[in-house]
Amino acid sequence: MQLIVGLGNPEEKYIGTRHNIGFYFIDKIKEGFSAQGGPATGWEFNKKFNAEISKGKINEKEVLLVKPMTFMNLSGEAIREILSFYKLSPKDVLVIHDDLDIIIGKYKVTEDSRSAGHNGVQNIIDNLGTQEFKRIRIGVGEEKNGVLSCRLDAHDFVLGKFSEEEWKKIQSLEKNVLEEIKNLV
């Protein structure tokens, strides 16, 4: 079984923010694979895990799509509970999250890497006791004159909404990210 987790914050006011890009992509994965006979169950809230879950198959492999409802910085709690219940290992986990160190419109796939200051990812590492899980890091960083801009107001920036131009860049990633998921499962 593969666990694919999108990171975000559960309240409506966070919809469309940079920090909720993991929720956005997990919804797109569910839509994309449902259209292809993949995960087809609706989102169901599981109180034990404090997460919304959708079940199905990708490449004939059983998959759980997960949106932790713990808020971003406590995401590891839900993931730890799910891994324990299903007797899975961290190597069965793929996390999708925002990354300020990547220019918007780009993404990177990593495995066994540090949190790089991302509190949600750090909480997962702390709860699992390892960084040995896969991640799709979706770029939300600003580009100025062809260079990644350093943000001193990172907290406020990631909780801000995307501009129309930024959304177009994010949406242009959908097809490639869905293909990456197929390859990683």
What confidence tens digit (pLDDT) does each residue in 49-67 have? 999 999 888 888 899 999 9
**Strands in 120-164 per DSSP E:** 134-141, 143-144, 147-148
19 classed as catalytic: yes
What confidence tens digit (pLDDT) does each residue in 130-160 have? 999 999 999 998 887 776 776 657 778 888 8
Percent of residues, the chain, with pLDDT higher than 70? 93
Report how far residue 127's alpha carbon sits from residue 79's, in angstroms, rounded to the nearest whole number.
8
**Could you tell me which residues come within 8 angstroms of residue 152 by beta carbon, excluding any fewer than 6 positions away?**
none
Q: Which domains, ranges and CATH numbers included, belong to the chain?
A: 2-184 (3.40.50.1470)
**Strands in the chain per DSSP E:** 2-6, 44-46, 51-58, 61-68, 93-103, 107-111, 134-141, 143-144, 147-148
**pLDDT given for residue 116 in this prediction:** 87
**pLDDT given for residue 18 in this prediction:** 92
Which of the following is catalytic: 19, 97, 118, 155? 19
Give the mean model confidence (pLDDT) for residues 43-52.
96
**pLDDT given for residue 39 in this prediction:** 55
Q: Which two tokens stand for residue 1?
A: 């079984």
Would you put residue 60 in left (φ > 0), alpha (ψ -120 to 50) or beta? left
